[in-house]
Chain A
């Protein structure tokens, strides 16, 4: 029987692969998607999420979000919560190599009419000041020891050196500094790959966008106002990037470590080698957790410096200070991460290591970990779509417990990068987008073609699914007008 026929429909948005599907599954696997989205997923996603369900300590379900597609070990869109006290494992394949790849959103008090005449200038300057591309270097000249300090302190390191405002920290997950990051657990090679990349976008699907909140796209006026979206056709800036070569090297280093100890030392049997892991409560697991947190901090710092550069650019173009332009952060959220969180399982509070790989944390109102400013309304969730289709600001909900308060992170690819490159031509795409009022700068034409709109799932459908499933609620949709593509 084809694997898709093994999926049991639990509700309109929940599909379950029973634990009996394959040997070793400890819990069922669940995909959060409409029937259309679940059928569009590649079959490897079902197999991968089934494999995740075999990992030691996994609690309740192995989950996949509506934008899921296959990835290294876990699908991208995978969520798995491991019980820390029941031998729960940590797996780099469940976090992603781009540790703390994430989104940051800031508002301005400018409108489309204010920005339109200066759009090219803004985008060109952003392209200059926020380096993009595979090996791009940042303007920050750090020594290796500065960098080791930075990865332990995250965005706080940057704000202390005037790259940002104090309130930026309050609006970043964990105040932009994850406790327990230990630079003695990262390799020299990882430092070498990261020390000159703070303040850079990188390549692939990373981008920086100037967007507009059209009045008809504001879904919840009251919530939008609380997040700072108050003016018709208000300009916002959204960007997507992570920990660059640094996070990649940390992941590579520990995958190699885990491959060595997983079977002989811990007797962990896995089906797919890409799921290499170790118990969180083991020397190797703890070391990776501490090193991975350095990746989280590097990424928060990276986005903090980029935010600073964006403020500089707008300030220069409009001849007004960033404060005067009210360039305030809405939020910064990680979508490649693992964190120990308290969750209620059968009325009992348990400490779970929640892996989110291409999935966004989405705590509802009154959750203690939500920034004080938003505690009454819930955590902001930022989901980027393709550059042609727009992006969303959402809010976490109280009804998200079944996904450990996790939701989608993007629209998810419908085809491989190569296939997209064969189908579209970057230069032509830039031209077409410009004709539609979207000005794009990119370091690579081929890379731009990868990001063509039809190479992605329909963002509106992904968002509608998360709302229907009760795991996040849309607040506003943003349309791009300028894009710097990594």
Chain B
């Protein structure tokens, strides 16, 4: 049984978290359960089911929106049991420090895996308030993917220095510039619970590119692990399946952090997504071929 991926969305008040959720629901075909403190503007007029630890509102297309009544862990278990979503997205309040929640997911929810932490940061706010708040800083520090949002509200020339500022606080996260949180969901998510590996699509983020690798041979595990550790910083997401001598594993990579878990399939199939990675494509494919050639 595969673990259910959880994506955490964080960011200060008014940065665009709800806008991002609406965008995800519009563009992502998977069965998503959104967990938020309050339904807010997402689940207006929806049919609401009262559970023990959660209140669940149907959003159509199998997606639901859940607000907590009890402990977070108990609520997540109840959601998995009742709705069996492909993925869970947790929207934190603008005042929340994400690290405790990350720890909860990793330590207290063995049936889930942390797919990634997405922080939405308002570019205009960064310009208008010279000092970064304590909580905002923690939200930036804890991110795998940083959405530098509302770039349409600032001068083009200001964006680069803002990225530098974010990079100083979080050197490893992928920074994606967005307007109204318009981001390719492929960048945000790894692989859903029962989903086949996503094919690269043509609607990728402006300067983001992707390529694939597939092969029938078996990978020595240590060689693949070395490969994963040395993926260049320009690769934001990599995902797919890898065939090892002891079985195939699902591979999920986000901004330098990666995981493997068992999965039923025969072929190795991988997708790499990143910023201007055409230049790295040769080297990445070469390294993979080297691994299988080693045998």
Contacts and interface: CB of A to CB of B under 8 A. Distances in A.
Interface of A: 44, 47-48, 51, 70-73, 97, 133-136, 189, 192-193, 245, 248, 251-252, 255-256, 259, 263, 270-275, 416-418, 421-422, 443-446, 450
Q: How large is the interface on B (under 10, 10 to 19, 20 to 34, 35 or more residues)?
A: 20 to 34
Given A271-B129, A271-B130, A274-B135, A418 B71 contact: no
Q: Which label, helix, strand, loop or mixed, suits the secondary structure of the A interface?
A: helix
Interface string B92-105: 01110101101110
Centre residue among B12, B97, B131 by max chain A CB count within 10 A: B131
A426 to B, nearest CB: 10
B134 A273 contact: no
A418 B72 CA distance: 17
Contact of B134 (A48, A245, A443): A48
Contacts of A446: 103-104, 107-108
Contact of B71 (A51, A135, A251, A422): A135
Contacts of B108: 444-446
A275 B125 CA distance: 13
8 contacts: A47-B131, A72-B133, A136-B70, A273-B12, A273-B133, A274-B134, A417-B100, A418-B99
B107 A421 contact: yes
A48 B104 CA distance: 29
B236 to A, nearest CB: 24
Ordered nearest first, which 3 A-B pairs have the shortest CB separation? A274-B133, A418-B99, A273-B129
A418 B71 CA distance: 18
B14 interface: yes
B70 A133 contact: yes
Contact of A252 (B13, B103, B104, B136): B13
Contact of B95 (A47, A248, A273, A444): A248
Contacts, number: 88
A370 to B, nearest CB: 34
Interface in B52-108: 53, 68-72, 75, 93-95, 97, 99-100, 102-104, 107-108
Contacts of B103: 418, 421-422, 446
Nearest to B14: A259
B134 A44 contact: yes
Interface of B: 12-14, 37-38, 53, 68-72, 75, 93-95, 97, 99-100, 102-104, 107-108, 125, 128-137
A195 B105 CA distance: 28
Given A418-B99, A446-B108, A259 B13 contact: yes
Contacts of B97: 417
A404 B191 CA distance: 56
A66 B72 CA distance: 34
A31 B95 CA distance: 25
B133 A272 contact: yes
Contacts of B104: 446
Q: Which of A134, A193, A259 has the most CB of B within 10 A?
A: A134
A129 B70 CA distance: 16
Contacts of A275: 133
Given A135-B68, A272-B131, 16 more contacts: A44-B134, A48-B134, A97-B95, A134-B68, A192-B38, A193-B37, A245-B37, A252-B94, A255-B13, A255-B95, A272-B133, A274-B12, A274-B136, A417-B97, A444-B71, A446-B104
Contacts of B95: 72, 97, 248, 251-252, 255
A71 to B, nearest CB: 6
Nearest to B138: A416
